[in-house]
């Protein structure tokens, strides 16, 4: 029907469920897109040391605060990617490598400050 939204067809959507990954004996890896200063990632990584987390953001000062928070808490189960999410996910995140993806309060409007920070 004209104007009706269609589901996105994307192989990245076919990630393994947490249960399947656990069966395979792997640590679960979760991605947060647009993690900002990483408040959520720090809380999750602290509560679930058995999991791995990947934070992705384009804004370096925010990621700097995340790195500081990780060092303060001696958390070693968070990795960081800095750059524009669509191209980074295509290049750096392999299909079926994630248990899930978090996106909280996405910020799709380009701002000069952010563009200049890349």
Pairwise CA distance, residues 70 & 62, whole Å: 13
Q: How far is CA 75 from CA 35, 49, 85, 102, 106, in A?
A: 16, 8, 23, 19, 25
- Position 114 contacts ligand SAM (CB under 6 A): yes
Nearer to ligand SAM, 23 or 43 (CB): 43
Among positions 85, 97, 100, 101, the unique one binding ligand SAM when judged by CB under 6 A: 85
Min dist. Cβ of residue 68 to ligand SAM (A): 15
5: its two tokens: 């939204």
Using the minimum distance from each CB to ligand SAM, give the nearer residue, 11 or 105. Answer: 105
User: Which one, of 91, 90, 92, lies nearest residue 79 by Cα?
Assistant: 92
Chain contacts with ligand SAM (rule: CB under 6 A) = 34-36, 39, 56-59, 62, 84-85, 104-107, 114
């Amino acid at each position: 029907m004209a104007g009706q939204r269609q589901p996105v067809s994307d192989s990245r959507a076919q990630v393994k469920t947490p249960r399947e990954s656990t069966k395979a004996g792997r640590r679960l890896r979760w991605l947060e897109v647009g993690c900002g200063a990483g408040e959520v990632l720090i809380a999750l990584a602290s509560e679930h040391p058995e999991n791995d987390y990947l934070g992705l953001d384009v804004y370096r000062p925010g990621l700097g605060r995340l790195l500081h928070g990780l060092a303060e808490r001696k958390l070693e189960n968070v990795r960081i990617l800095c750059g524009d999410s669509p191209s980074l996910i295509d290049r750096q995140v392999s299909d079926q490598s994630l248990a899930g993806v978090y996106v909280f309060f996405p910020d799709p409007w380009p701002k000069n400050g952010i563009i200049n920070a890349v």
